[in-house]
Structure 1
Amino acid sequence: MGYYIPVERNVNLFVEDCDPGYGKPILFIHGWPLNHKMFEYQFNQLPKMGYRCIGVDLRGFGKSDRPWSGYSYNRLADDIRMVIDTLQSEDVTLVGHSMGGAIAIRYMARHSGHKVSKLVLIGAAGFTRRPGIPYGLTKKEIKRWEQSWSKLIAATYTDRPKMLDGVWDIFFARYVTKRLKDWFHGLGIEASGHATAKCAVSLRDEDVGQDFSKIDVPTGIFHSVQDKVCPFAFAELMHAQIRGSELIPFQYSGHGLFYEELEKLNRELIRFIG
């Protein structure tokens, strides 16, 4: 079922809850520039095994409201806190993909892991500007990351459909059908243009490196070695900095590992959550 949760005055987030009140809750935070529908192939399998899948559309994306402001990681993490408190959920597994992973990381630090018992980071944008640290990006790699996002931001304001085409060209490492790419393209088009651009600014400029040490729940890091959007170095960095984390490499996918290796991802997710 789907419903709306108010997170601040005149801002409501759309939430899809596969089975309210039943099963161990898994709260999914989607990546940029998609919405909760990206997790379709988790939502149609995990509930069979007793898990309650909860998907939220971040502000500006999917069916949620589209305010002009509020796209910093702090505000987006506060929105997640409002969703969790409204649902009165306990023992939550928080799952974030890409930017959703960065928001999940910020949530854990900013809200001391409130109600979350396990964290899963899927191709997470674990970006930090601190070059030279173990497993971190070099100064040159950081500059390249920032420049690529600056180009995406500029293209968002001039030809967003074409910009999205370019995203899907590097999103997948394996062959996917044109119709599947078209489906993902449609999810991206559903977002508001200003939210797409402003979240891209957050992806480029915000640093979650200082948050890693504040995570104190079991953390699974699911990341593809072929990821061209969020390099595997992000996964190595997070693994080195998050105490007791488990790194699960994916060999045969890109940034879309939740689809390209969906059977492995679902299997590893069930194993990790328990």
Structure 2
Amino acid sequence: MGYFVEVEPDVNLYVEDVNPEGRKTLVFIHGWPLSHEQFEYQFNILPSMGYRCVGIDWRGFGKSDRPWHGYTYNRLADDIRTVIDTLELDGVTLVGHSTGGAIAIRYVTRHNGHGVSQLVLVDAAAPVGFTEDTANSLLEQTLNDRPKMMQGVTDTFFFQSISKPFSDWFNQLGVRAASWSTAAVIHLLRDETLYEDMHNIHVPTLIIHGVHDKVIPFEQALELHQNIRNSQLVPFEFSGHGPFWEEREKFNQLLMEFSS
């Protein structure tokens, strides 16, 4: 089922909640500039294995409201807290991909792991996001030819070949976002870091990262693993930035094993 959760006056986030009676809840936080729909190949499988899957569209992305303000790690983490409290979730596995991984890290540190029993970081944009040069290039494209920018993101996203229909679908996930929120998160990824946060994570953490990632280099996964206590790193040898699709069977199995 899908519904909206108010996170502040006149700002509602879209939440997809599949199999609410599942024995274990996984909360998915998507990457920039996508939506919860990027996890289609998890939502198709994991509920049939007894898991509850909750996908949250950040403010400005997917089906959520598109305010002008609020695109900081603190505000985005606070939005997640409101959803978790509203749904009365506890003992969840929090799964964050790319920028969603960075938001998940800030959530766990800012809210002392409230409601979270395990953390999964998938090609997380942490402890840093974009370099200044990359961010400035993406900003210029976003403000002048956003569909072309999104096509460039798609072209560098995957290591394995994707079909033209899949590429078209993936592009549409990105261009559904508001242009101003797309740009604001580029600023976020350029200007905010998570060096202090990674030392203050106290829940078991699984780090998944594609060896061939051209968006967030694999070296950043090594840095996270070295600095997050009680973490394990699983390299995905046949993935770029999208192991949730490129090696989805392995990815889904790992999520189930880690969350059990």
Q: Give the structure 2 partner of residue 54 of structure 1.
A: 54
Q: Which amino acid aligns with 2:224?
A: M
TM-superposition CA deviations, 1:52-87 (whole Å, max 9, x none):
000011000011000000000110000000000000
- 2:98 alignment partner in structure 1: 98
Q: Could you tell me which residue of structure 2 aligns to residue 231 of structure 1?
A: 217
Instruction: Give the match for residue 132 of structure 1.
Output: none
The residue aligned with 2:234 is 248
Q: Which amino acid aligns with 2:195?
A: G
CA distance in 2, matches of 1:219, 1:20: 24
8 Å CA contact 2:127, 2:198 repeated in 1: no
d(CA) in 2 for partners of 1:54 and 1:106? 19
Runs of 4+ in 1 over 2 A off after TM superposition: 20-23
Q: How does 1:111-260 map to 2 (within 5 A)?
A: 111-128=111-128, 145-260=131-246
TM-score, normalising length: structure 2: 0.98
CA displacement, residues 186-225 of structure 1 (integer Å, 9 cap, x when unaligned):
1011100001000111111110111011110110000011
- 2:39 matched to 1:6? no
Distance in 2 (CA, whole Å) between partners of 1:153 and 1:146 is 10
AA aligned opposite 1:158: N
- Does 2:103 align with 1:66? no
Q: 2 CA distance for matches of 1:3 and 1:88?
A: 15
Q: Is the 8 A contact 2:127 2:224 kept in 1?
A: no
Post-superposition offset of 1:165: 0.8
- Structure 2, unpaired ranges of 5+: none
Q: Unpaired runs of 5+ in structure 1?
A: 129-141
> Could you tell me whether the CA contact under 8 Å between 1:127 and 1:206 is conserved in 2?
no
Partner of 1:157, secondary structure, is: helix
Distance 1:32 1:65 in 2: 16
Q: State the secondary structure of the residue aligned to 1:249.
A: strand
Kept in 1, the 8 Å contact 2:127–2:194? The answer is: yes
Are 1:19 and 2:38 matched, yes or no? Answer: no
8 A contact 1:101–1:122 mirrored in 2: yes
How many Å separate the matches in 2 of 1:165 and 1:145? 20
What is the deviation of 1:164? 0.5
- 2:39: which partner in 1? 39
State how many pairs are aligned. 260
Question: Helix, strand or coil for the counterpart of 1:67?
Answer: coil
Q: Deviations over 1:138-163 (max 9, x none)?
A: xxxx9x82211211011101100000
- The whole-number CA distance in structure 2 between the counterparts of 1:214 and 1:239 is 13
What's the CA shift for 1:271? Answer: 1.2
Instruction: Give the equivalent residue in structure 1 for 2:84.
Output: 84
> Partners in 2 of 1:8 and 1:236 — Cα distance?
36
